[in-house]
Every structure is written in structure tokens, then in C-alpha cells.
Amino acid sequence: MNLSSNEIEAHFVGGDYSIVPVKSIGVFNNDLWFDEFGVNLFKNIIEAKIIYTSTGLVLPLKRYSRSQDKQVLEFAGLHSYTEKSMFLKELLRGLKERLQDEVITRVDVAIDFKEKIPERVIREMRKKRKPFSYKNSNYFKTKSEGKKNYNTNIVIYPKHIKEGFSDEVQRLEFSFGSQYFKRDFRLYNLESAVVKMSRTIKRFCGLEVEILPV
């Protein structure tokens, strides 16, 4: 889940947090960013900082070229298969009161299946979007969609390969972006956002899903 505001880092000044700039005027430390997050700093990121917590969590904080007045804070892996997920949820719960008014700009909802995704689910998505294969993933694109879709992205990929599981796990992932939420949803009304996302998932693939609370 991504949250955005003009100066979201103000919630992390002092106390149990330290903030390290990695991209700004006169600063560019792509190596540190790659070491922490496994990806390079993309050109559309005009400012980047890393927030370190006392529990060992590492959070990316970014400004993008298309919305330069906003900082975006990313909570990646809130419901994953790692110990990090537990610490992330504890951190977010502890910050929830302070972050209530921050705008939700992205939520990724993952649905995992052992071995194979049911064919009926694939058929439903094919009725609405065209599948596009790239490497190990299948993306479901609209006819007019370009490289970026800031509304709703849908992708299927083998989660077990990425995480090194012994058992096969296929992941169906819905990524809801800033145009989907349209600044109507802030953290304090996350429950309403969950209802909207659940309805969208059912419309696209016919699945009744329960999105886990934070």
C-alpha cells in the first residue's frame, strides 16, 4: 500500500527513525537503493529517501516527476510470507492515527493459488482484457492501455519462483493506482476502499475475495 501527502516524512522525524537521502540535488546513491530494494532508481523518481526503523524495517520514500509536490511512502509486503510482514503491520498500526489523513495512491491485492489458477477465472478476465506475456508473467491489458496504467493493473506470475518456495504457487495480483482512488480515499476510510476493490475484483474475474485488514 502507498500513501501520499506533501511532506509525509514529517511523521518519521526523530525518535525511532532515521532518514537517509539517496536522490536529490547533489545526491545520488543508486547502489544503496539497489541494495535495500533490489531495483534501480528510475528516471521518473526525482527525489528518493530511505526510512530506517528501530525494528530493522526499511521503507522507500519517493517523489515522482508527474506529481512533484507529493511524497509517496510505500508499505510493500503487508501480507506476505515473511517476518517482515508482521513488523510492517505493527508499524502501520502504530502510525495509523498519525497517517489517517494521508491519501491512498496504490494498493496491491494478491490472490494465491496452489499449482494453477482456475480456468473459469482466466476466461472471465479474457472477456474484458487481452493477455500479454512477458518473461514469467501474464499481464491483462485494455485495448487503449499504454506502458503505464494508473487505474487497475492485473498480472499473473509464479510466486514460488520469486520467493523460492518448494511448492508451486500462482499469484493473481490486482494493482489499484491513483486514478482508481481519485483522491477520494484516505487511510481513515480504508474499509470503504476495501469494499470498492472487492467489487472490482469480482467484476473482473468472478471471485469473491476477503481483503485482509491491516
pLDDT digits (tens, 9 = 90+) for 14-44: 788 999 999 999 999 999 999 999 999 999 9
pLDDT in tens, 129-140: 999 998 889 999
pLDDT score for 166: 67
Contact, 100 vs 186, CB < 8 A? yes
State pLDDT tens for residues 141-162. Answer: 998 887 778 999 999 999 887 7
Tell whether the model's pLDDT for residue 203 goes beyond 70: yes
Q: Mean pLDDT in the chain?
A: 92
- Domain locations along the chain: 1-99, 108-209
Tell me the β-bridge partners of 71: 5
pTM above 0.75, yes or no: yes
Contact 153, 131 (CB under 8 A): no
Q: pLDDT tens-digit profile of 155-198?
A: 999 988 776 666 789 999 999 999 999 877 999 999 999 999 99
pLDDT one-digit tens code per residue, 101-128: 999 999 999 999 997 899 999 999 999 9
What Cα–Cα distance (Å) separates residue 9 from each residue in 5, 41, 100, 126, 129? 9, 19, 14, 41, 38
How much is the average pLDDT of 52-77?
94
